[in-house]
Structure 1
Amino acid sequence: MPINKRKLTFKTKRLTFAAALTVFGTLTAGCGADSAKVTSEKPQAVSESAESVKTAAAADTQTEQQTREDDYLDKSDYTVQQLKPGQADLLNDLIRAQNAGDQEAYAALFASDTPEEAKRISFKIAKFELRVRSEGDGPQRIGAEFQEEPSGESYSVVYELVAENGQWKVRSAERAAGPLVDESIYEGDALEIAKLINLSIKYRNEGDAAAYRKLFGPGSNMNELQPNAQPVKEMQIADIHYSEADGASIVYPMIKREGETELWMPGYALLKKDGKWLIYDID
């Protein structure tokens, strides 16, 4: 699906590196905490102010539906409950229209600044599961794993949701475009982190253990590339956790490896040392 490109930078929270690693361990354990979510965007044509988000949340709270039999996201599920009011309904409506082939209903759920070609239905979903989400009062990035019909294989998708005229809308729905992320949509520290993750995947796929080792910080015990490491077929970065105070970052790429039908979602703990981002752990 075509991507509505925009530069991604950071919203940051003050967090010690030790605390960042604590958050990292908690999140990779699967409890879904989101203490330092950080993706952010430049101002857009649609309203993305805190007031707009609050208006959308207030309106959606009044109209929030109970879980329907044809919902793909169960709103009684803990992970789904972490979404802002109305977002689960939006994604359920999107997938229903998508699977029904209802192009008009599908396109109506997108934001006004989404290119028309990005509103076209290009695949159908058999199963759907949330994996990671961003926080804050601006655009919300939500990473999910889905099984595509009719193959039954799992893939990743990243949705960007925005508040527009008091309602949540989909700005983009991006599928992975290969083993490396598009670096042109990032800037600042986000760009450097995207480059680092890309290099880790590149060297993994090439079997270059020496180059791979140089991406890690001193004392890391995760810097050895295993000879039988499976190549990565597809990868997306759904969200980045970042501490401005200590230069610590947590990244959760959604990865599909060659020969596997399920997704792998490791957590990368990064540290900025002497102006350079390095990998310290992969869980």
Structure 2
Amino acid sequence: MHFTPSLLLAASIASVAAAPAPIQIGVDDVILHGNGHFMLMKREDFAELEAARNSDKMPPAPAGHDDKLITYTGKDNKPTFNGNETDDSPRQPLSLHKRGTNTIILPKPNTRFLGWDVQMSAVVKGAPTTISVSQGFTIGNSITVGVSSMLTIVKDYLSVTMSTDYSRSWSSIQTQTFMAPVPAGKYGAFVSNAWTTRASGNVWTGTVGGGGDIVPYQADSFSPKQYGDMSWVDGVISLCIKDTFPMPRCLGAGTL
């Protein structure tokens, strides 16, 4: 991603010795990472976020959104059952053989997109009111499969082909404080839209000359970035403002 100097409004690096001073964020500002530190710029100047928020086409849903699939986040090294089990270039299929059956992984090309809003503060009603990034909101790499028995196969395959730790997660902290005003009568919250790398495909299991079953998988991963004293993921942090509560996402479906 390339940012010209004319687009940059301000830049700040937190001091290691002392807690950084609060950074005031406007309703039309976004916080993003570049050149080793975070930057502020107007949302209208950041074309990807503005286009995504105004587009009729929604970005792909995050892991865990489909209640028919099983999601592994690595937080406790166990998959999360959400419901009933029921690079830009293609990778080569992986074929495994066991007791007369074949298991073949058929990967699709990787995709990269700006993900749904991830909440980073409480939702507040403006009186007007000032809010700040809060501690304890999380985001993490994940693997989602259609059947739990396929999880280990997919996880092992991706750990080699993607060189990604799918157990890694990040948590927001209050050491680096971003503050912003919420207009009177509106509802607002800080949100993060992460640059998401998605690996996806299908796992086919069956016998040669016979039938087989196809199970889908997908894996989302993020790149770490430092925003002052806060370790988070590469993407955009901004203020989401809406008229109603529960508060709808500015990017993505559902509410915060």
Which structure's relative contact order is higher, taking Cα pairs within 8 Å and 6+ residues apart? Answer: 2
Structure that is richer in strand per residue: 2
Structure that is richer in helix per residue: 1
- Alignment TM-score, normalising by the size of structure 1: 0.21
- Alignment TM-score, normalising by the size of structure 2: 0.23
Structure number, greater radius of gyration: 2
